[in-house]
């Protein structure tokens, strides 16, 4: 037997997915154990091994691929527990991280409602104090020409003085280093010769992109979280090796590809869990024949969505980490504060019902948890409406108190002058509308039609709402995976290695084809060398090309994936046409303004190393009749009836491929509840996913 393992740690639970060579999946959950997390990982692996009838060493010694999703980087920033970090930058620009583009860090990453209270928004506290910043004499201009050479002696003194201050890490970000890295390279040489033990980060290596503020943030963040993340990855890798894992462990990165844990640049491990959920959706989509997917993850406090278009991931245009704008590629996961724990309240000024963005969190949580929460939440409304089973939450491991939910909602109802049912239904409607709006803003606003997409609903609270907001948007199919609650771990188990490289070089289009070919050749060579090092076979390597383009009279660039081939003059002209079409498809006919000319500004190559992975196993069809899975009836309220009626309840684990369920119905498993409203139908596919239409 050989295994592929995905472990997602950092949330309340550590999830593990073990897939064997037949494609059979075993999942397990264990409580996370911050701050080290390693114990929780071992516990979850032990549980999974037990389910396979073996030991942790037994599983690990037969594991070909082990992929990890972590939040160590995120936690380090949020807890401000990172390394004492110094910054070296261009003289005169020492305060780039503090000026923060004149207030951008006051509002970047905040919801609109908070941004509007403009005089009270506050800049993020800097990660590097001014006292630990050193400006060195050097300057490069926009063409990449040296205006003033690096003063080496001064640079040495700057480094020494930071070390004297006791810094553990040094971040180096000079102006225009992405265009000419000569001075950063000199600093790297000095640092590695004089203080090899100090962790260091160089902007030209991490993110060769225009814009010194986000690039400096990225470099600082890498230095700040670097020692902690490195230590964690190395000690876990050593531990796993000592327990029998033959191949080094892989770690998921924000852009959705993996690298070997020991090689990972720490800053790339942000959001690796959410990224993995998106990867899993893409994997399932490929199996099921869906190229266009909306991933919708409803947790306790937030609703996170991302898009997969034609089988490709979408990336954030202005990525933000812990409210710091950064410049590295991250899968575009957008969120709003709408989850099971979102609090409903009556606006004191207008008497209108509102839901969120405040959340009761996991503790005290919704009133029905019985942990002392008294405010009405979305979960309380779901319970009052009969969607949740008070005796079968987490498979009965946790009791829900319907009376407490009722009481919390009654308080709102009294203020509104409505009854409890209408108030609960109102909360349900409002949160569904908010979810629909977020999806709308992520699809329609970018020129995509939701009806061309399938929606993957996951996270513990997602499937209660998915069918409603999905129908509102006209989404073609709503898919609830049989592993919906551990989807991120599945994503880890089904990911590939990815090395991204980019080069900044502005050229008016049509540009010289030789120059273009040489750029891509150089980038591909870098990725190739890394894939050599990873031991990926030639035939398992894929190289994706892309360019950033804009109009001459324009500012923003548009990323355009292009064919991997040798370009001639005609090929370059065809790229211009491809750009025009892409532009008009996004901004409407006539928006392409050709008299201003076109420019290409950057070249990108993603080198992907395919990791062999088993295919999910299929199940024998059991016919349309789903009555075997029927476990009883429960009173539930639906708008279409405007009253409570007895509704069929099904056991998710007893459903068979091809089973058909007509709404209204509720499907329950230990980890999730699926609501199928009146008028909609659910079928079970050969992987035991529920598909609602």
Partner 1 sequence: MKGSRTVEKGKIDPITFEILLHRLEQIIAESYYTISHVSGSAVVIEVGDHQEAILDNKGDLTLFGGGLVHWTPSLSLATKYIVHEYEENPGIFEDDQFICNDPYIAVSHAPDIALVAPVFYKGQRVGFAAAASHQMDVGGRDPGGIMVRPESCYEEGLQIPALKIIEGGVWRKDVVNMIQASVRTPVFSIQEIASKVAANNVTKARIVELCERYSLDTVLTLFGQIQDVSEEMVRAKLRRIPDGKWRALHYNEGINPEKLPHYKLFCTLTKEGDTLTYDMTGTDPQSPQCENSAYPAAIGNLLAAYVMMLCHDIPWSSGIHRPIRFIIPEGTIANPTKPGACSYTTPSGSGYAILGLGQELMSKMLQTSEEDRKECCGVTGGAIQDSQPGGINHDGTYFTTILMMGIAGGGGGLPDRDGDNTAGNMWCPKTKISDAEMHELLYPVLTLNRTELPDTGGIGKYRGGNTFVTALMPWDAGSPLTNVGLSHGFDVRVGNGTSGGYPAPNIALQIIRNSNIRELFARGEFPRDVKEIEGEREYPYPKSLWTVNSDDVSVYWCSGGGGYGDPLERDPKLVLEDVREGEVTIEYAKEAYGVIIDPTTVKIDLEETERLRQRMIEERLKEGA
Q: Interface residues for partner 1 in 516-575 (CB under 8 A)?
A: 551-556
Tell me the sheet residues that pair with 389. Answer: none
Task: Choose between 148 and 234: whose C-beta lies nearer to partner 1.
Answer: 148
Nearer to partner 1, 247 or 440 (CB): 440
Strands 353-359 and 342-346: antiparallel
Shortest Cβ 208–partner 1 spacing (Å): 12
The H-or-E segment that residue 498 falls in is: strand 497-508
Closer residue to partner 1, CB minimum distance, 151 or 617: 151
* Token pair for 101: 């583009």
- Using CB under 8 A, which residues numbered 48 to 107 contact partner 1? 91-96, 98-104, 106-107
Burial of 691 (0-12, 13-18, 19+ CB in 10 A): middle
**Minimum CB separation from partner 1 for residue 82, in Å?**
19
Token pair listed for 679: 């008028």
Among 188, 440, 559, 654, binds partner 1 (CB under 8 A): 440
- Please name the residues in contact with 526: beta carbons below 8 A apart, sequence gap of 6 or more: 499, 501, 605, 607
Binding mask 259-288 for partner 1 (x = CB under 8 A): ------------------------------
Residues 6+ apart with CB under 8 A from 260: 248, 249, 250, 251, 497, 534
- Distance between CA atoms of 397 and 362, rounded to whole angstroms? 15
* Binding flags for partner 1, 485-514, as an x/- string (CB under 8 A): ---------------------x--------
Q: Decide whether 190 or 210 has the Cβ nearer to partner 1.
A: 210
Q: Phi first, then psi: what are they for 2, rounded to 5°?
A: -130, 150
Whole-angstrom Cα distance, residue 486 to residue 66? 16
What residues contact 231, with CB distance under 8 A and at least 6 apart?
none
Minimum distance from residue 587 beta carbon to partner 1 (Å) = 5
- Using CA atoms, how far residue 443 sits from 371, 446, 453, 552, 670, in Å, is 38, 5, 9, 27, 32
| Start-to-end Cα distance in the chain | 38
Show Cβ contacts of residue 500 under 8 Å, excluding neighbours closer than 6 positions.
255, 257, 329, 527, 604, 605, 606, 607
Question: Taking the complex as a whole, how short is the minimal distance between the CB of residue 494 and partner 1, in angstroms?
Answer: 33
Give the nearest distance from C-beta 333 to partner 1 in angstroms: 17
CB of 174 closer than 8 Å to CB of 184: yes
- The nearest distance, CB 10 to partner 1, in angstroms, is 30
Among 166, 289, 349, 570, binds partner 1 (CB under 8 A): 349
Residue 166 is a binding residue for partner 1 (CB under 8 A): no
Nearer to partner 1, 90 or 253 (CB): 90
Shortest Cβ 108–partner 1 spacing (Å): 8
> Residues 586, 591, 595, 601: is their CA dihedral positive or negative?
negative
Between CA 133 and CA 162 the distance in angstroms is: 8
* Distance between CA atoms of residues 113 and 336, nearest Å: 11
Residue closer to partner 1 by CB (options 138, 685) is 138
Residue 357 Cβ vs partner 1, minimum distance, rounded to whole Å: 12
Measured from the CB atom, the residue of 551 and 687 that comes closer to partner 1 is 551
H helices present in 561-639, as ranges: 569-587
Among 186, 429, 477, 686, binds partner 1 (CB under 8 A): 429
How many residues contact partner 1, by CB under 8 A?
Answer: 88
161 binds partner 1 (CB under 8 A): no
Q: How far is the CB of 682 from partner 1 (least distance, A)?
A: 25
Residue 264: count of CB within 10 angstroms of its CB: 23
Stretches 78-86, 192-200, 410-418, 530-538: which one binds partner 1 (CB under 8 A)? Answer: 410-418
Among 53, 120, 196, 197, binds partner 1 (CB under 8 A): 120
- Which one, 2 or 642, has the nearer CB to partner 1? 642
153 binds partner 1 (CB under 8 A): no
From 115, 569, 640, 660, residue interacting with partner 1 (rule: CB under 8 A)? 115
Query: What x/- string results for residues 633 through 652 when contact with partner 1 is judged by CB under 8 A?
Result: ----x----xxx--------
Residue 430 within binding range of partner 1, rule CB under 8 A: yes
Q: Tell the smallest beta-carbon distance from residue 148 to partner 1 (Å).
A: 5
Which is closer to partner 1, CB of 69 or CB of 386?
386
Residue number, 61 or 151, with CB nearest to partner 1: 151
What part of residues 599-638 is at the interface with partner 1 (CB under 8 A)? 637
Binds partner 1 (CB under 8 A): choice among 1, 31, 78, 147: 147
Cβ-in-10-Å burial (0-12, 13-18, 19+) of 352 comes to exposed
Cβ–Cβ contacts within 10 Å for residue 135, how many?
Answer: 18
Alpha helices for 569-634 (secondary structure H): 569-587
Under rule CB under 8 A, residue 437 binds partner 1: yes
∠547-553-558 over CA atoms, to 5°? 25
Interacting residues of 455 by C-beta distance below 8 A, sequence separation 6+: 293, 294, 295, 296, 439, 466, 470, 475, 477, 478, 479
410 binds partner 1 (CB under 8 A): no
CB of 354 to partner 1, least distance (A): 7
Task: Considering the complex, state which of residue 390 and residue 597 has its C-beta at the smaller distance from partner 1.
Answer: 597
Q: Is the Cβ of residue 108 or residue 484 nearer to partner 1 in the bound state?
A: 108
């Amino acid at each position: 037997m050989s295994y592929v393992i995905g472990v997602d740690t950092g949330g309340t639970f550590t999830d593990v997915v073990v897939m064997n060579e037949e494609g059979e999946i075993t999942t397990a959950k264990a409580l996370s154990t911050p701050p080290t997390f390693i114990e929780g990982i071992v516990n979850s692996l032990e549980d999974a091994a037990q389910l396979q009838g073996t030991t942790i060493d037994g599983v690990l010694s037969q594991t070909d691929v082990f992929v990890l999703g972590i939040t160590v980087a995120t936690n380090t920033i949020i807890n401000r527990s990172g390394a004492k970090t110094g910054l070296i930058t261009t003289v005169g620009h020492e305060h780039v991280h503090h000026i923060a583009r004149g207030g951008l860090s006051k509002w970047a990453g905040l919801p609109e409602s908070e941004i509007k209270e403009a005089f009270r928004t506050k800049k993020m506290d800097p990660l590097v104090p001014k006292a630990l910043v050193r400006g060195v004499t050097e300057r490069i201009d926009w063409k990449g020409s040296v205006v003033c050479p690096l003063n080496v002696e001064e640079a040495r003194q700057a480094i020494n003085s930071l070390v004297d201050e006791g810094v553990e890490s040094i971040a180096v970000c000079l102006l225009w280093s992405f265009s000419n890295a000569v001075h950063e390279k000199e600093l790297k040489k000095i640092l590695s010769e004089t203080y090899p033990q100090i962790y260091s980060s160089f902007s030209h290596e991490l993110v060769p992109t225009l814009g010194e503020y986000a690039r400096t943030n990225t470099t600082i963040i890498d230095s700040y979280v670097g020692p902690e993340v490195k230590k964690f990855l190395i000690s876990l890798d050593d531990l796993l090796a000592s327990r029998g894992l033959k191949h080094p462990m892989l770690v998921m990165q924000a852009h959705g590809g993996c690298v070997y844990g020991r090689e990972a640049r720490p800053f790339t491990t942000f959001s690796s869990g959410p990224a993995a959920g998106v990867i899993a959706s893409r994997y399932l989509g490929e199996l099921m024949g869906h190229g266009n997917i909306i991933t919708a993850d409803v947790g306790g406090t937030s609703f996170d969505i991302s898009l997969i278009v034609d089988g490709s991931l979408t990336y954030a245009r202005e990525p933000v980490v812990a409210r710091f704008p950064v410049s590295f590629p991250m899968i575009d996961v957008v969120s709003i504060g709408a989850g099971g724990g979102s609090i409903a309240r009556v606006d004191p000024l207008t008497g209108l019902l509102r839901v969120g963005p405040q959340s009761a969190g996991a503790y005290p949580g919704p009133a029905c948890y019985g942990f002392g929460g008294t405010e009405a939440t979305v979960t309380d409304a779901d319970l009052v409406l009969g969607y949740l089973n008070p005796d079968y939450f987490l498979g009965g491991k946790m009791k829900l108190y319907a009376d407490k939910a009722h009481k919390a909602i009654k308080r709102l109802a009294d203020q509104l002058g409505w009854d409890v049912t209408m108030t609960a239904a109102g909360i349900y409607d409002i949160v569904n509308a908010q979810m629909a709006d977020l999806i709308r803003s992520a699809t329609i606003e970018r020129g995509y039609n939701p009806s061309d997409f399938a929606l993957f609903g996951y996270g513990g609270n997602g499937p209660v709402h998915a069918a409603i907001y999905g129908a509102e948007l006209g989404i073609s199919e709503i898919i609830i995976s049989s592993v919906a609650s551990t989807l991120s771990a599945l994503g880890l188990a089904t990911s590939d290695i990815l090395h991204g490289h980019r080069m900044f070089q502005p050229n008016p289009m049509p540009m010289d084809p030789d120059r273009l070919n040489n750029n891509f050749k150089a980038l591909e060579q870098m990725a190739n060398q890394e894939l050599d090092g990873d031991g990926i076979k030639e035939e398992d390597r894929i190289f994706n090309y892309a360019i950033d383009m804009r109009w001459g009279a324009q500012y923003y660039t548009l990323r355009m994936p292009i064919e991997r081939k040798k370009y001639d003059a005609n090929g370059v002209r065809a790229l211009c046409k491809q750009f025009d079409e892409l532009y008009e498809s996004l901004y409407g006919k006539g928006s392409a303004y050709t008299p201003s000319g076109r420019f290409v500004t950057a070249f990108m190559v993603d080198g992907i190393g395919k990791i062999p992975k088993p295919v999910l196993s299929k199940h024998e069809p059991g016919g349309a009749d789903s009555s075997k899975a029927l476990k009883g009836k429960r009173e539930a309220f639906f708008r279409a009836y405007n009253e409570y009626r007895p509704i069929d309840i099904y056991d998710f684990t007893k459903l068979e491929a091809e089973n058909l369920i007509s709404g209204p119905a509720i499907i329950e498993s230990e980890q999730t509840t699926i609501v199928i409203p009146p008028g909609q139908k659910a079928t079970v596919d050969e992987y035991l996913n529920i598909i609602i239409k």
